[in-house]
């Protein structure tokens, strides 16, 4: 009988935000091998036409799968998930998991029925957010903040720059005024800013993101396709390093040590990948 290799998961984002999701996947599935792919040459996706996001997502992911065949794909980007998932599913048989803002768990946790939703300007504008709120948080007041600065501050943090705390305080002032007790981090970059966000909004009791739910979904999917031994899913199993961290633009300076601080030790970091795109 041939020996089964550990499952391999491709995690995609427009930048470093997907690392917050990769950290959750790695914690849940420590023996799975992760390939991290960031289209940071086109960052931020929120500023791109939809056709460009679809084209770049599909092209880059297809190229990554050629070089690194994977058992699951995680689109760890809200913007790309709302636009590109059907197109991606049409070009590959590999199961694809997307991300949506965690409105449902936030509605289950809030004690005062006031929820803050922090996302990119592109995500807060999308009609699917109205549907999510109507379906999962009908009795709640949901205060949305779509700020352009936060994703860049998360990118800068990975490069070693401090988060501008005063600007962040101003960016989230609407959530303070609305006296929310729960905040949905509706962009995968935002968990990277959690320490600074807690400083800005000390009265918030619950911070909710989608990372753990995505990790559970990936584990479930891999089990369905028989790629997951029970033994692979236990905490404390040997850590598999990130097989490759691929960036379509320049690899952010300091990214390897930042990844290591999240428990994601990359074997290789490659910028301008793939060179011919």
Count of chain residues binding ligand DGL (CB under 6 A): 17
Backbone angles phi, psi at 44, to 5 degrees: -90, 145
With beta carbons less than 8 A apart as the criterion, state whether 96 and 88 touch: yes
Applying CB under 6 A, among 11, 13, 211, 246 the residue interacting with ligand DGL is 13
d(CA 30, CA 241): 9
Give yes or no for residue 17 binding ligand DGL (CB under 6 A): yes
Would you call 140 a catalytic residue per the annotation?
Answer: no
Residues 6+ apart with CB under 8 A from 118: 145, 147, 150, 172, 175, 183, 184, 185, 186, 187, 190, 197
Near ligand DGL by CB under 6 A: residue from 38, 57, 72, 79: 79
* Token pair of 11 as six digits: 């995690």
38 binds ligand DGL (CB under 6 A): no
Torsion of CA 131, 135, 139, 142, to 10 degrees: -30
Q: Which stretch binds ligand DGL (CB under 6 A): 76-84, 171-179, 195-203, 253-261?
A: 76-84
120 binds ligand DGL (CB under 6 A): yes
Nearest to 46 by CA among 82, 1, 95, 5: 82
Q: Which residue among the candidates 24, 70, 77, 140 is catalytic per the annotation?
A: 77
Q: Binding to ligand DGL by residue 147, rule CB under 6 A?
A: no
Pick the binder of ligand DGL from 54, 65, 145, 151 (CB under 6 A): 151
Q: Does residue 43 interact with ligand DGL by CB under 6 A?
A: yes
- Whether the bond between 274 and the residue before it is cis, its omega within 30 degrees of 0, is yes
Q: Token digits for 106? A: 């936030």
* CA 37 from centroid of its chain's CA atoms: 11
**Residue 209 engages ligand DGL in binding (rule: CB under 6 A):** no
Q: Which is nearer to ligand DGL, 110 or 123 (CB)?
A: 123
When asked if residue 57 is in the footprint of ligand DGL (CB under 6 A), the reply is no
Q: Which residues contact 12 (CB under 8 A, 6 or more apart)?
A: 18, 37, 38, 39, 57, 60, 61, 64, 73, 74, 75, 76, 77, 80
Please provide the distance, in angstroms rounded to a whole number, between the alpha carbons at the two ends of the chain: 40
Please identify which residue in 33, 188, 210, 248 interacts with ligand DGL, judged by CB under 6 A.
188
45: contact with ligand DGL by CB under 6 A: yes
Nearer Cβ to ligand DGL (123/248): 123
Is 187 one of the catalytic residues?
yes
Instruction: Candidates 117-125, 142-150, 245-253, 261-269: pick the segment binding ligand DGL (CB under 6 A).
Output: 117-125
The number of beta carbons lying within 10 Å of the beta carbon of residue 139 is: 7
Among 7, 46, 95, 116, binds ligand DGL (CB under 6 A): 46
Minimum distance of ligand DGL from residue 152's CB (angstroms):
10
Phi and psi angles of residue 105, each rounded to the nearest 5 degrees, phi first: -65, -30
Q: Is 126 in the site for ligand DGL (CB under 6 A)?
A: no
Asked if 77 is part of the footprint of ligand DGL (rule: CB under 6 A), the reply reads yes
- Does residue 44 interact with ligand DGL by CB under 6 A? yes
- Does 182 interact with ligand DGL (rule: CB under 6 A)? no
Which sequence positions are flagged as catalytic? 77, 187
């Amino acid at each position: 009988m041939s020996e089964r290799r550990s499952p391999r998961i491709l995690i995609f984002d427009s930048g470093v935000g997907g690392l917050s999701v990769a950290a959750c996947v790695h914690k849940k599935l420590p023996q799975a091998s992760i390939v991290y792919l960031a289209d940071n040459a086109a960052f931020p996706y929120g500023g791109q036409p939809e056709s460009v996001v679809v084209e770049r997502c599909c092209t880059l992911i297809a190229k990554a799968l050629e070089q690194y065949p994977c058992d699951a794909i995680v689109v760890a980007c809200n913007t790309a998930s709302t636009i590109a998932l059907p197109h991606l599913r049409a070009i590959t048989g590999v199961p694809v998991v997307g991300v949506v803002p965690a409105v449902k768990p936030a509605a289950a946790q809030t004690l005062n029925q006031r929820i803050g939703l922090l996302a990119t300007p592109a995500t807060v504008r999308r009609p699917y957010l109205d549907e999510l709120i109507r379906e999962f948080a009908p009795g709640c007041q949901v205060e949305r903040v779509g700020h352009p600065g936060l994703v860049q501050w998360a990118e800068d943090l990975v490069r070693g720059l401090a988060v501008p705390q005063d600007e962040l305080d101003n960016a989230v002032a609407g959530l303070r005024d609305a006296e929310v007790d729960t905040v949905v981090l509706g962009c995968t970059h935002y968990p990277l800013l959690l320490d600074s966000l807690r400083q800005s909004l000390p009265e918030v009791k619950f911070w909710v993101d989608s990372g753990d739910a995505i990790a559970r979904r990936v584990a479930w999917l891999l089990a369905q396709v028989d790629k997951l031994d029970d033994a692979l899913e236990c905490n404390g199993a040997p850590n598999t390093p990130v097989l490759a961290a691929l960036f379509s633009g320049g690899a952010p300076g300091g990214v390897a040590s930042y990844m290591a601080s999240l428990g994601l030790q990359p074997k290789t970091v490659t910028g301008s990948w793939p060179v011919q795109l």
